[in-house]
Structure 1
Amino acid sequence: MTATSLATALADLPVSRASSLLSEAPPLLAGAEVEAGHHPVTEGLRGLLGTGLRRGASYLVEGSTSLCLAMAAGVSQEGGWCAAVGMPRLGMQAAAGLGIDLQRFAVVPDPGSHWLEVVATLADAVEVILLAPEAPVRDADLRRLAARLRQHGSTLIVHGRRWSGIEARFTVTDSHWAGAHTDGRGYLSARHALVTLSGKGAPVTERLWLPGPDGGVRPVDESPERVLRAVR
């Protein structure tokens, strides 16, 4: 994927490069090739995703934008392009902390009623798309989008509760924050939660830091000394 092809595909969209939301960005770089069949994921997610995200597939994530970002981080770190559509509250510092390279992260925070067309256009240009859909989608439109994703090998990660034709569903529950002292002082610096993967086989559950004290996403080896249950 080249910077030129991305610019052409996004010319008519209300899109911003994520890095511009923090500071001036250096020139765009070409994305790197990914392994055939799958997009890479970071080491902390390999227990759930194995070889990676299947190219041309859609995944549903319930309960965590952090997990959406973490799933895209492997592609970003390998030099690929990612995008986020319909997620105006997405924190750029959080995205960078989870491993997203903001120089190759296109953001369309408010696509309006044309969000499905925006996603279809991005599928021509980026490897992984994060989407928070604004409304239900007709089955016919979903089939056309799925065909577009397969044609270009782009992976869609939907943050929501319903999406047809998914490869797998991730459900995030039992979330706890860590970092505060018992008297309430201090900062909530890390969170861990149960992540359940439901797909074609038996469900798999793993407790992950989202993010951990070091900012990364990885399995929890032991519970932190001071934990607060997240208020949902």
Structure 2
Amino acid sequence: MAAAPYSPSVASAPDIDRAEDALSRVQELQARIRGMQATKLESPALPTSAAMAAVLPSGALRQGSAYSVDGSLTLAMALLAGPSASGAWCGVVGVPDFGAEAAARFGVDLERLVLVPDPGEHWLTATAALVDVLTVVVLRPPTRASDTDVARLGARLRQRGAALVVLGPWPQAEARLSISSSSWTGLGDGHGHLGAREATVTAIGRLGYDRPRSVRLWLPDGRQQFSTVELQDAAPLLQAVTA
């Protein structure tokens, strides 16, 4: 018995329409993702110290972005130091124990620093007001912000081109920075004084970055400056080569 001739199936018009509609949606989503990525990559960078540039996933503080710092006020000051030393106005909200003298030693210009130590329940309003006029704002929220408030403040950051450094967790942060280990130098056997702090700082970027980044930093070094341990160790060698 002869085999029946092969007859290819023919897609109906509704099937073709559904396929074309699905393809169009996929292409639209791809275009939106590319647009979001381009916007993120093109967001201007703020002046950032070399030490912090070595840690941050994008190599700098970015305008319109928020950053989360796990507990370390010194690390927040390190993020402030670069923009402040370059002439930017900065602010600190909800941090009554912020050490102005220590910040000044680290390079923060106190003449361009606005402090709101205890805004109480109006902390979000105070932060939004400072974001409107300052370049970098450090915030310690007393309570968890709602998703709506986070979205509104994020939109304000992007509109004004400011950066937010939050002491504690913050949804949709560009990166989360933490100190995984640290040790002090300068102390002997019952004598001496604290001279420098060596710390391992780890940054975990939001979705899209490959892996966490860990860098050994001086927070601060013996000159009360922030620097990478590798650069500090290489300084005597560089001086010998250039002498």
Task: Tell whether 2:213 aligns with 1:204.
Answer: yes
Rounded to whole Å, the distance in 2 between the matches of 1:168 and 1:159 is 12
Q: Could you give the per-residue CA deviations for residues 183-206 of structure 1, whole angstroms, max 9, x where no partner exists? A: x21211221111001113111100
Describe the shift of the 1:203–1:46 C-alpha distance in structure 2 as closer, same or farther (beyond 3 A).
Answer: same
SS at match of 1:189: strand
Q: CA deviation at 1:101?
A: 0.4
CA contact (8 A) 1:63 1:173 kept: no
In the other structure, the counterpart of 2:97 is 89
Within the candidate set 15, 18, 38, 2:45 is matched to 38
In 1, Cα distance between equivalents of 2:71 and 2:118: 21
Report sequence identity in percent.
42
Q: Map of 1:161-176 to 2, 5 A cutoff?
A: 162-176=169-183
Q: CA offset at residue 46 of structure 1?
A: 2.1
User: Which runs of 4 or more aligned residues in structure 1 lie more than 3 Å from their structure 2 counterparts after TM superposition?
Assistant: none
Q: What residue number does 1:228 align with?
A: none
Query: When the two structures are superposed, what TM-score results if normalisation uses the length of structure 2?
Result: 0.73
**What displacement does 1:157 show?**
0.3
Describe the superposition over 1:96-143 as per-residue Cα deviations: whole angstroms up to 9, x where unpaired. Answer: 111100000111111111000000000111000001110011111111
Q: Report which of the two has the higher share of strand.
A: 1
Question: How many matched pairs?
Answer: 187
For residues 127-166 of structure 1, the aligned pairs below 5 Å read 127-160=135-168, 162-166=169-173
Which residue among 60, 70, 75 is the counterpart of 2:68? 60
Return 5+ residue gaps in structure 1 as ranges: 1-34, 224-232
Larger radius of gyration: 2
* Residues 43, 62 of structure 2: 8 Å contact kept: no
Counterpart in 2 of 1:189?
Answer: 195
Q: For the residues of structure 1 that align with 2:178 and 2:62, how far apart are their CA atoms?
A: 18
- Shift of residue 177 of structure 1? 1.4
Give yes or no for contact 1:40–1:74 (8 Å, CA) kept in 2. Answer: yes
- Residue type of the partner of 1:60? S
TM-score, normalised to structure 1's length?
A: 0.77
State the 1:44 CA deviation: 2.1
Q: Which amino acid aligns with 2:179?
A: V
